[in-house]
Amino acid sequence: MIKLSIVTPIYNEVENLPGLFREIKSSLSALGWDYEIIAVNDGSVDGSLNVLKELAAVDSHIKIISFSRNFGQTAALSAGFTHATGEVIIPLDADLQNDPRDIPLLLSKLAEGYDIVSGWRKNRHDKLISRKIPSRLANSLIGKITGVKLHDYGCTMKAYRKESLDSVRLYGEMHRFIPALAAWHGAKITEVVTNHRPRQFGQTKYGIRRTFKVVLDLLTVKFLTNYSTRPMHFFGKAGLYALSAAVISGLLALYLRLFHHVSLIITPLPLLTVFLMLVGLQFILMGLIAEMLTRVYYETQNKPTYFIKEKINF
């Protein structure tokens, strides 16, 4: 029998927890699957942990991981994924905006042969200025840069085959980029429209400031997916561009001096030439250092620079 792991990160959601677990169990009861519910208490200070302990005392399906302090949603999800024993893992928020009744929908789509099924909050019940507009801009930017086009990267509710998460390591606030990172390893991804409900209790933990963090994390994802095994291609290219610009700037300064008798003192071109040369050399040296670090990273851990999906007759 296939086992399902539900992972929910929790931070100050005491009023939502009884209804959340009641809805999850109601949705799973009709499936006939073996399941576990992993509740990750991310340093809540409102009594959420006490409620979780009461629920777990009467239901062995509920497992609790409690952090010593608030480490953030990515850390909570990472802990849940690490401790999950199910072949399929579905994370969802604890604020009751994700609808647990969509779990069978995600599973049915996963059964079509996909590795990841992402939820799409098409009719989203959030504030327009602080949540919807920044989210749309971020999703569009992420899709263009990573090449994995999803309408709603920020939706926590997704279905993962456990093996699709085995090679993904989460740091910072990278949980929203799991589909892009998994696609780099060859995962097959799709999305389905899921129900999104207004928040009834508590306050949202996220605002427009999170958009800036998304942009910074996106730069990291772009580098990891395109240049993690060949960093010199990134830094070296930037270095060569800078050195080329230095040559052009230097030649232009000489041209003005020899043919138009413009003094090198009154033009900024000589200073610009030196600056660009230094920048170009620094980029190339950074590339060499990054190449050495890459080799240390892979060789000390015996990590391959490729990913095998299947082997036959071995």
Q: What is the pLDDT of residue 136?
A: 86
Check whether residue 115 and residue 92 sit in a common domain: yes
- The last residue of one of the domains, among 173, 192, 227, is 227
Could you give the residue ranges of the DSSP H alpha helices within the chain? 17-29, 48-57, 73-83, 103-110, 133-146, 162-165, 178-184, 210-227, 231-259, 269-300
Check whether residue 107 and residue 52 sit in a common domain: yes
Check whether 288 has a pLDDT greater than 90.
yes
The whole-number average pLDDT for the span 271-300 is: 94
Is 306 contained in some domain? no
Determine which of 57-71, 155-169, 241-255, 290-304 has the lowest per-residue pLDDT on average.
290-304
* Tokens encoding 79: 């802990």
Check whether residue 212 and residue 249 sit in a common domain: no
**Higher-confidence position of 280 and 300:** 280
pLDDT (tens digit per residue) in 205-249? 665 566 677 778 888 888 888 888 899 999 999 999 999 999 999
pLDDT (tens digit per residue) in 23-57? 999 999 888 889 999 999 999 999 999 999 999 99
Give, as one character, the DSSP assignment of residue 196: B
Check whether residue 25 and residue 131 sit in a common domain: yes
Check whether residue 110 and residue 192 sit in a common domain: yes
| Crossing angle for the helix pair 269-300 and 231-259, to the nearest 10 degrees | 170
pLDDT level of residue 285 (50, 70, 90 thresholds): very high
Q: What is the pLDDT of residue 1?
A: 58
- The last residue of one of the domains, among 227, 254, 275, is 227
Q: What is the pLDDT of residue 206?
A: 61
Does pTM surpass 0.85?
no
- Angle at CA 243, nearest 5°, toward 239 and 245? 115
Rounded to whole angstroms, the Cα distance separating 281 from 268 reads 20
Sheet strands side by side (includes 189-193): 62-66, 34-41, 3-10, 88-91, 158-161, 116-120, 189-193
Q: What is the domain count for the chain?
A: 2
Is 307 contained in some domain? no
Mean pLDDT of the chain: 89
Check whether residue 154 and residue 26 sit in a common domain: yes
- The last residue of one of the domains, among 227, 246, 274, is 227
Domain boundaries, position 141: 3-227
